[in-house]
Amino acid sequence: MKAIKLASVFAVTAVAAAVSTATFAADAIITGEAGVEYTTYHGNSKDTPDLADGTDLGELELHVDTGIVYAELEVKTTGVDEGTKIGMEKLYVKQGAVSFGRFDGTVATGSFMGMDELFGGVDLKTAAGDTDNMGIRYKVTPELTVAVEATSSLAGGTTYTFDSATGTSKATTTEKADSDIGVALSYVQDFGGFKAGISGGSIGDANAVNVGVQALAGPATLSLNYGVGEKGTKTSTTTTTDVEQVTASVALAATDALTLTLEYSQDLESTGKPDGTYFIAEYVAGDLTYYVKNYAGDLAARSDTNGAEQTTVGVKVFF
């Protein structure tokens, strides 16, 4: 049976469960953030105009938990005047140790630890996309989770891109593809002051293995992650791209009010092995959080990470 059919069955089951428990109390929690910030661009992004903004960081999340169905709805500003994006981040059913639906992520990266602003582990991604929309998870023990996950289908077709230098259009053809179904697992052991884990999975032409460790050293938390695998590529011929990446981060609680976090990530597979850093300092004073964050390096400028080298200063409120 194709994953799309399975997904339909799960969707109906989730709705039925939600309706059947409609008479029971549901915990609804609203969280979010609002504030202002100023961003200046540098390095590879130095030609981008600086920006003073009070909407780009706005976010509102609604979390609803009926005990059987969990839903997470995000309302996020887009940075343009009154621009808003609404998305269903998570929507899944819980039945004891089993849960199924949309999780907005994969179990294959479950062992990743620490800051994940640039990289968050090698996930499962075929030519048709990732497995965010469909999963069945079973928590065997508090440390071990196994899952069946599926991608969306790919319609296929031909797109044309105009090349102003040559005055011609370049055609890119993608093949249609059914949903792929695969497996993933994650095992993380907490030894008290030290954690270690391994996770991974395989689906279609994609696979991933991630290893993560984390240690507490006084007020500092040190994390190290390594991931390797293959991802599908949207081309007229079915090919895969090797993926290998490493991420290290340190989070320091300098005082009760001041937190400093630094992430270093490197793409070990791409040409030149680009790397980058992300740094954020946050100071809490009453209801306000003042912060400075910086993205630097070729990796930070890539569209699949942050998209620019920049420094941002701002103040916001979490609610």
Q: What is the DSSP string of 53-68?
A: ESSTT-EEEEEEE-SS
| Predicted local distance difference test score (pLDDT) of residue 165 | 60
Reading the block at residue 115, the tokens are: 């800051």
Give the residue with greater pLDDT, 113 vs 7: 113
Amino acid at 3: A
Q: Which of 157-161, 230-234, 283-287 has the highest mean pLDDT?
A: 283-287
Residue 10 in this model has a pLDDT that exceeds 60: no
pLDDT attached to residue 168? 73
156 has pLDDT over 90: no
For residue 26, pLDDT beyond 90: no
At 19, the pLDDT band (50, 70, 90 cuts) reads very low
**What digits encode the pLDDT tens for the residues 32-72?**
888 899 999 999 898 888 888 776 677 889 999 999 999 99
Question: How large is the average pLDDT for residues 255-267?
Answer: 98
Q: Which helix (H) or strand (E) holds 15?
A: helix 3-20
Residue 175 has which token pair?
A: 């093949």
pLDDT of residue 237: 57
Answer yes or no: are the C-beta atoms of 149 and 102 closer than 8 Å.
no
The string of pLDDT tens digits covering residues 86-96 is 999 999 999 99
Domain count, the chain: 1
Give percent of the chain with pLDDT exceeding 70: 86
Q: Are strands 275-285 and 258-267 parallel, antiparallel or unpaired?
A: antiparallel
Percentage of the chain beyond pLDDT 90 is 64
Asked whether residue 111 carries a pLDDT value surpassing 80, the answer given is yes
What is the pLDDT, as a whole number, of residue 240?
A: 86
Beta bridge partners of 260: 252, 281
Given this model, what pLDDT does residue 173 score?
67
CA 291-74-146 angle, 5° bins: 100
The CATH number of the domain holding residue 276 is 2.40.160.10
What average pLDDT is seen over the chain? 86
Average pLDDT for 275-285: 98
> With bands split at pLDDT 50, 70 and 90, how would you rate the model's confidence at 97?
very high
pLDDT of 16 > 50? The answer is no
Query: Which domain, by its residues, includes 26?
Result: 3-318
More confident residue, 99 or 205: 99
